[in-house]
Chain A
């Protein structure tokens, strides 16, 4: 049977209740008649032989790049950088794409007699990965061959000895990236493109950058003018990264970019109903939903979190392309849209979303309130091309428990951001001006980022800036079933039920509003006409 594309359902009397994610759980909600539900396209067929596909891509690059073997020679300095724990979501079943790609690259390097090879996890300001996470991403063989010799490293954006300033772009943006990567004869970047925002020049210009460099595009002004992040030509974030990427190339850094795309086969068979359309649920799906909902309702949040974070996604590689950064990314973006794109006609007054337990920054961790805001207003809101799904001045209704819980090891500066910044203001511009620098340069956060597994001190600011476009665009944000104090701290409004939320929304959008529900995950991109 051929794959079915994305679909916009109009709710009528016969429509069964719609699944809403609710953190470490889910619920069914009855949407008003006439509402629309946007469903993701069904998964594309996976590549039959990923290893062969990767090898083919390396030997047949796109853009102005020689095949990889021609770029490898004995005595050279080779650095292989790869996306970190934030991709893909949820973490994928072994073997991870990074393992497949890097094993292939290493085979070619070995054939060419290259022996100065270093692997770098491109963390940017994310937390360092644990050994288990690195082993999962790269496989034991690579880990055991490199890590004991100090050849598997993680980018340290605060290590002055391993950063190099490559000058400024024509707009005066500092370009400061990992020195080992920048001074190598060849920088191979291994990317996993979960959404259209990932990859391209952003891989190196962001993933291997320092705060000094990142602050030029991770700020409220840039974020407000990125409409959306998922549509690079309309994204100021990407425009800045592209300027930096070209500057990096002009500075003589030779990048061989390898990008991969995934299908939307997001959940294992035990949770298959999560990516099915509700009217197609069979008896087993209904039973699984009922049993899992009941058990999750009774489980303490910590236990529910453990259950969900143990999920490994079966999503599989649908394409791999390699070569020159921009040429590669153009193909990648096309493939991402082919998998995730859904045509939607017209905007809506109210957009609803159920937020899941995971976002790029809480893998094996806790989804704190700031990350909830970021996932809803930063990521899901921006899953569009053209126009946002919700009209300007419209209402966004989220469903998530939004407990004021934080992982003290992973998100220490988030706690202070929540307690000491959001209590003063929720305005991204004011936050940027008043607080960012003190957090960014705080020696304790720097210490924890460099030596522990903590996100950088400035990271919660970036999460808040991700929301800047949505905050400017929306008339109100309502969160259902959440901790009311936490929701108010974020500047949003709490509601106890969908009906209450809809009632509250009418104050902003008037009576009889239109409503659209984004049925994600699986991830989709709305092409709004």
Chain B
């Protein structure tokens, strides 16, 4: 029974940091990550269950951690040693209760909503954010009866997905995988949920011009989420969705998933300028050309200083730049942000979304994952007012869990296609290196197949 364990070791942090200068993901070989014999974590209390991971993805935030590039902001909401892996599809080893309150039998396939909020920490009353369903914003990540950890995969008490010994999850974290979804589909649910939340947080209005910068897993899932949320009437329809994608396969996937145009990132500002029919000024060496108009919303799925600067230069005055790709410490010229009154909005994780109510019944996938707190802002019969298709009326809204919406996206667009390769845990160095070079190697999402190469 083995796990990949990430320990606190300053020399190894330093080694990982140095190794990562040769490429993202290189820190895995020299850093604090080790394959160890490891016992299953014990259940912290009532409402917790054991989950045996089947597939567990490697996320950009995992790479940043392994490479020693993570922001120090996270230091106090992480506890060591931890088993990484928060994008997880697995099976319940015993009976449990799901996030929607439904009973889940042993063996049920589940995906993990990994945030360890107040409910998981047995904190009462819930913080105002958890009470409102915005578990991603929980203010109690360092408190409660389990050790600090913003998510499963960063907490010493819960285990993580990169393990054959399994992890423990609270019922508030468990979502049964709808029938018809493959394991590959299911393992993309968590990143898709992030994307759904980002799209809904970015404040897109009908007829907006939206630009997505970056087309790794984050950018592509954002593209998919936006396309599906629009098609299902959950989000106002932009007039165009432009995606900056570095590699050919990313451009192809972006188009398949719903981009109006997918083109190299250095061409994106030109495309935004064209679509917004704006003028361009500046752009001398050392500066970024700025548009007189620009996109209404730019969704930055990279999170680097360069991408944020480019996003600010591409957005219109008073427009919104949504940061979805995890940023760290960056140096930025914020003069244009100030001068053009641009809103810089973070978009992290998931919880409960307030979305237009749609008349058509959601798929069984969505129904099975509805948030327990889902309520309607309108009367029970008000959905009948919608007569002209999914987008004909947005007068009524409902609260739906982000994961429920994510399941809809996963099912509609088969986002399992983004899983390019799986590795056994024993080949973790190769897996992480592959994930770090996914774009260059024609891949998108790399995952560990926990069932491969060993016996449980």
Contact A420 B271 (CB under 8 A): yes
Q: Is there an interface contact between B277 and A415, defined as CB atoms closer than 8 Å?
A: no
Give B233-287 interface residues, CB cut-off 8 Å to A. 261, 263-264, 267, 270-271, 273-274, 277-280
Partner of A416, one of B270, B277, B278, B279: B270
In the complex, whether A438 has a CB less than 8 A from a CB of chain B is yes
Q: How far is the CB of A296 from chain B (nearest CB, A)?
A: 30
Q: Is the C-beta of A444 less than 8 angstroms from some C-beta in chain B?
A: yes
| Contact flags A478-503 to B (C-beta < 8 A → 1, else 0) | 00000000000000000000000000
Interface range on chain A: under 10, 10 to 19, 20 to 34, or 35 or more? 10 to 19
User: Are B270 and A443 interface neighbours, CB within 8 A?
Assistant: no
Return chain B residues, CB-CB under 8 Å to A420: 261, 263, 267, 270-271, 274
Also in contact, A444 and B261, with CB within 8 A (given A416-B270, A419-B267): no
- Alpha-carbon distance A419/B273, docked complex (angstroms): 13
Is A529 close to B, CB under 8 A?
Answer: no
Q: A419-B263, A423-B263 are in contact. Are A442 and B277 (CB under 8 A)?
A: yes
Whether B279 contacts A447 by the Cβ 8 Å rule is: yes
Q: List 19 A-B contacts (CB under 8 A).
A: A416-B270, A416-B271, A416-B274, A419-B271, A420-B263, A420-B267, A420-B274, A423-B263, A424-B261, A438-B277, A442-B277, A443-B278, A443-B279, A444-B273, A444-B274, A444-B277, A444-B278, A444-B280, A447-B279
Question: Top 5 A-B pairs ranked by shortest CB distance?
Answer: A419-B267, A444-B279, A416-B270, A420-B271, A443-B277
Contacts of B264 in A (CB 8 A): 419
Q: Which residues of B contact A (CB under 8 A)?
A: 261, 263-264, 267, 270-271, 273-274, 277-280
* A401-431 contact mask (Cβ, 8 Å, vs B): 1 or 0: 0000000000000011001100110000000
Closest Cβ neighbor of A444 among chain B residues: B279
Residues in B with CB closer than 8 Å to A416 are 270-271, 274
CA distance A443 to B273 in the complex (A): 10
Q: In the complex, what distance in Å separates the CA atom of A420 from the CA atom of B280?
A: 18
Indicate whether A442 sits within 8 Å of B274 (C-beta atoms), given known contacts A419-B263, A419-B264: yes
* B278 proximity list for chain A (CB < 8 A): 443-444
Query: What residues on B are CB-neighbors of A438 within 8 Å?
Result: 274, 277
Segment 66-105 of A: residues with Cβ below 8 Å from B? none
A484: shortest Cβ distance to chain B, in Å?
Answer: 13
Which B-chain residue is minimally distant from A408 (CB atoms)?
B283
**In the bound complex, what is the Cα–Cα distance between A438 and B264 (angstroms)?**
21
Q: Provide the bound-state CA to CA distance between A442 and B264, in Å.
A: 21
CA gap between A415 and B280 in the complex, in Å: 15
Instruction: Scan residues 435-487 of chain A and give those whose CB is less than 8 A from a CB of chain B.
Output: 438-439, 441-444, 447
Cβ of A415: which chain B residues have Cβ within 8 Å of it?
Answer: 270
Q: Point out the residues of chain B lying under 8 angstroms from A439, CB to CB.
A: 274
B266 to chain A: closest residue by CB: A419
Taking a contact as CB atoms under 8 Å apart, the answer to whether B270 and A419 are in contact is yes
CA distance A436 to B164 in the complex (A): 58
What's the nearest-Cβ distance from chain A to residue B42, in Å?
A: 56
Which A residues lie within 8 Å of B277 (CB)? Answer: 438, 441-444
Interface centre among B264, B271, B278, B279 (most CB of A within 10 A): B279
In the docked arrangement, what's the CA distance between A439 and B270, Å? 12
B279 neighbours in A (Cβ, 8 Å): 443-444, 447
